[in-house]
Structure 1
């Protein structure tokens, strides 16, 4: 795995170096353009591989190594741990091959460790929940992740075609009882088509498919023997029939989705005007017990719908923008009921929709600023924002539910200076999130047991008011016309009313060309 990944990483690094001679812009011009470009104000629309042709008018590649430290204390989900340390290396590249073709790719390696994970021995909790394998002991979790993706866009007349494929592989484990070992493969692919409409807008359509697999095994090697593991069902419930010694599971999933996207035609490298992107994805996941002839005990049906709209305008050195993102997720959990077994085979009798979770998020952001151009040594941007979020998980048979809603507001100030061969950027952001609604009903929950205590701790965290402050610093040193070195540091502190404080620090070192 590592040898294959290094080969792919080397190809992605060397390809843009070979093509760099065809680019007439200096790396300093590219960096200044990247800092001031309004394209970064949009996100979802660039997931369309055909529309990504217009993401930037020049070739750009960056290679970086990163270190991450995240300490959350009590302000964390029990199933995801309360701390993280990561080291990663990453390559991102966007290549303008010629007037008609664009090539883009990404490759990364991450080696990390999460702390104090309980009631979850699997990886990708946000994808698998609530149907994880859990126990009260838990502990740290070591992780290795490999990712790579590549895409191509080709323009012919008023039409643009694009395709992209991405693959992620993860190995997660613990070398202390209980000893899970999770192996993940996650393959995604998309095709897209876009057409220029009256030289003002580009209309695009895309289709995405996904194939997911996670194999998980738990071993106990200590002399004291094994402890019970549980097949969790959500809101403190577990599948009692299969509790105890079922330590091998397999998750298989597949998904399909699509998007319709509208983007202003690029003028001088900027897509100023109104854009909209509507995306929907459906994902189906099955959990199987490997030791019982791969008995499928649970299923997840997940629907995601997201709408992104943005308006941007640039008048000489002044820039303005408004961005709106609204997302809805509907997750249904299915429990399969089985009859008496014949050997390791369990006959399926029926299926019941027991778990349901509806999540809604909406955010509005504004932008006003003055760009840094050839006649200016200083540029600045202000980004005010407001947001709202709501989640309501329910377990139908016993009437358990939790409903939490929160509202937030914040302001970010960014600044960029040009000093000799240095480009210096800094941003400071502050915000506050307040609870709007927090209520729950958990009949029959034993709060003295570990599972019940973890659930209440999660509710306290998700409904807690908190303030946040973030600081980002970056310096780019222009070595010559082709290369620049950069160093960046990001710090985020959150102070919760009841759960205490959190700190997240990330440091990156890299080269851009």
Structure 2
């Protein structure tokens, strides 16, 4: 019943916008604008909602449904060895008037993830290392929901815009350990741009984010149950709260981000932007009583800067260069309690964990346009440094990576009402340095997991993939499309494979 309501809601979003009559332009020209690769290339530019006025020269909408099957032989145990399931999504961008724009999207996903181990929580990358773990795990059923909408208004030299997005997840398992987790993630973005000279604009933007995860693990077997750990990083855990019979955890996070942006010709000539953000994620614990105890406080400070420049060489050739840098520092503080009194009492809070991540990417852009086809190539190179360490006891690891690869796009008009798209891609992660300064925990199973996780992060990864798409339009109907995607990823001389397909309409 719930899936039917979601499907109906998505379909309503897809068709509720104004459907404009088809003009004499070919399907190729319409879709070449709708799926402009330059838009994806500078996707972070539209993080400022006030810059959405340059998102597209025309209105468009899309509705699609698809199925994916991801099988991984080499994987991080806490993320599972692949998933398969259904995805439904709708999105639209509408120019209501020359000075007014709206956009929105919605999505639903139903996945079954296999063999998730040492992790009984969702959103691992967000809350790690303070996850709940056990040695058994199992298959995980996961449902995701997403809704977002934005509005932009131009007033003389000013452009004001805002966007609200909400996503939710529900993960559960029907066998012991019976994990159940729900998440909610609310984001509110706002931006203001001002035209300072000719087509030069300067703007500021900001975001507020409220995130919650409620997580519990239940057992029904009378023959025994696995031991539950309150992890605190690199295999270590909080011994005082380990082993609960019905552990319940709550993660509460508040985050904010602010930045500035300067651009020319709505980012088509150049843009430069920078932002800084902070978040604070508190984990609390309960094992059947009415009292919750804080276990950890994870703070994340992030700085991002990005700039891009584009050039036109006559009307057919366009080139660009983009550079981005991101620095992130997570600091985890842990709480200590005393049980020497009738009531458990907090006796300290100390910083015990830190993860630093520094990433630099340089991307090139080349596009060649003709009346009946277009070719786009995006080569890139990246460098990343990751440091992770904890105190009490001392333990740590470090990784230095290099990345290189290329994404390509070829669109070909078959006739006035048909189009073919081919998108091959390749990237490689090379490990320049990996340092293992991990300390043993006294638990052989945990030590084995931590070592396997280190070996995965210390492995080179080579990825090849491609997407094929065919669009066609029938009389008196919106344009239809079918897509197919295949990807193979080589890690430790073993291949992980992904396949997916979807069908949809554009209008």
Q: Say whether the fold is shared (TM-score over 0.5).
A: yes
1:21-40, CA deviations, whole angstroms, 9 ceiling, x for partnerless residues? 59896754320223456333
Picking from 353, 356, 361, the partner of 2:354 is 356
Any conservation in 2 of the 1:32–1:372 contact (CA below 8 Å)?
no
1:446-475, CA deviations, whole angstroms, 9 ceiling, x for partnerless residues? 4x7221111111111111123221112111
**Structure-2 change in CA distance of 1:103 and 1:24 (3 Å):** farther
CA distance in 2 between partners of 1:401 and 1:333 (Å): 14
The alignment covers a number of residue pairs equal to 501
C-alpha deviation, 1:198, in angstroms: 1.0
Q: Is 2:126 aligned against 1:132?
A: no
CA distance in 2 between partners of 1:50 and 1:389 (Å): 31
Please name the residue that 1:43 is paired with. 43
Secondary structure at 1:240 match in 2: coil
Picking from 429, 432, 436, the partner of 1:436 is 432
Pairwise CA RMSD of aligned residues?
2.1
Q: Is 2:196 aligned against 1:171?
A: no
Please name the residue that 2:307 is paired with. 309
Any conservation in 2 of the 1:410–1:431 contact (CA below 8 Å)?
yes
Query: Which deviates the most, 364-373 or 166-175?
Result: 364-373
Secondary structure at 2:106 match in 1: strand
Any conservation in 2 of the 1:27–1:483 contact (CA below 8 Å)?
no
Please name the residue that 1:397 is paired with. 392
Structure 2, unaligned runs of 5 or more: none
Structure 1, unaligned runs of 5 or more: none
Please name the residue that 1:288 is paired with. 284
Query: Which deviates the most, 82-91 or 287-296?
Result: 287-296
Question: Scaled by the length of structure 2, what TM-score is found?
Answer: 0.94
**Structure-2 change in CA distance of 1:306 and 1:296 (3 Å):** same
Any conservation in 1 of the 2:85–2:112 contact (CA below 8 Å)?
yes
Please name the residue that 2:506 is paired with. 512
C-alpha deviation, 1:299, in angstroms: 0.9
1:291-314, CA deviations, whole angstroms, 9 ceiling, x for partnerless residues? 351111111001122222111223
Picking from 470, 474, 485, the partner of 2:480 is 485
Any conservation in 2 of the 1:113–1:142 contact (CA below 8 Å)?
yes
Secondary structure at 1:38 match in 2: helix
Please name the residue that 2:198 is paired with. 199
Any conservation in 1 of the 2:228–2:243 contact (CA below 8 Å)?
yes
**Structure-2 change in CA distance of 1:4 and 1:203 (3 Å):** farther
**Structure-2 change in CA distance of 1:422 and 1:27 (3 Å):** closer
Map of 1:56-71 to 2, 5 A cutoff? 56-71=56-71
1:73-120, CA deviations, whole angstroms, 9 ceiling, x for partnerless residues? 12x211111111131100011111111111010100000011111111
Any conservation in 2 of the 1:372–1:416 contact (CA below 8 Å)?
no
Q: Is 2:471 aligned against 1:476?
A: yes
1:314-339, CA deviations, whole angstroms, 9 ceiling, x for partnerless residues? 33011101122221110011101112
C-alpha deviation, 1:72, in angstroms: 1.6
**Structure-2 change in CA distance of 1:425 and 1:166 (3 Å):** same
Picking from 449, 458, 472, the partner of 1:454 is 449
Please name the residue that 2:14 is paired with. 13
